[in-house]
């Protein structure tokens, strides 16, 4: 959608306790592997787009597979490119495939105009 390349990297870090993200990262969220391997943490993310323009490429509402993780009193939603990268890693390393999304609960969300325009990643 935004014509960007993503190069995922996996590594083992022994000592670092805190990460300091740059402007591209809003927050670093730690997710235990056991949570990623639990089928009950997966859902369908039903997004309503605030673009104002309904097109075949960008419908007003669409469902995406997602992973839900409680974090500091709210639920973090892992979806989109990040979800695809993480689940590809989980399948390659552990042989784990997330459950089929037709059987999963629905989590509702809204993507603001800033996200759709490529000027920010602001999901509500």
3-state helix/strand/coil string of 84-113 = HHHHHHHHHHHCCCCCCHHHCCEEEEEECH
Tell me how far apart the alpha carbons of residues 41 and 70 are, in angstroms, rounded to a whole number.
10
Give the model confidence (pLDDT) of 11-66 as tens digits. Answer: 777 887 777 888 877 778 888 899 999 999 999 999 887 765 555 555 678 889 99
Cβ contact 106:44 at 8 Å: yes
pTM check: above 0.95: no
Rg (CA), the chain: 16
Domain ranges of the chain: 33-116
**Which DSSP symbol is given to 83?**
H
Q: If pLDDT is split at 50, 70 and 90, which confidence band does 124 have?
A: very low
């Amino acid at each position: 959608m935004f014509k960007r390349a993503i190069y995922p990297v996996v590594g083992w870090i022994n000592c670092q306790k805190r990460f300091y993200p740059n402007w591209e990262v809003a927050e670093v969220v730690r997710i235990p592997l056991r949570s990623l391997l639990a089928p009950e943490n997966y859902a369908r993310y039903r997004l309503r787009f605030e673009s104002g323009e309904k097109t075949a490429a960008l419908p007003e509402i669409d469902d995406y597979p997602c992973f839900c993780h409680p974090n500091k009193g709210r639920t973090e939603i892992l979806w989109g490119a990040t979800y695809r990268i993480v689940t590809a890693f989980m399948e390659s390393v552990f042989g784990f495939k997330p459950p089929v999304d037709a059987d999963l609960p629905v989590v509702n969300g809204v993507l603001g105009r800033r996200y759709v325009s490529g000027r920010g990643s602001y999901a509500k």
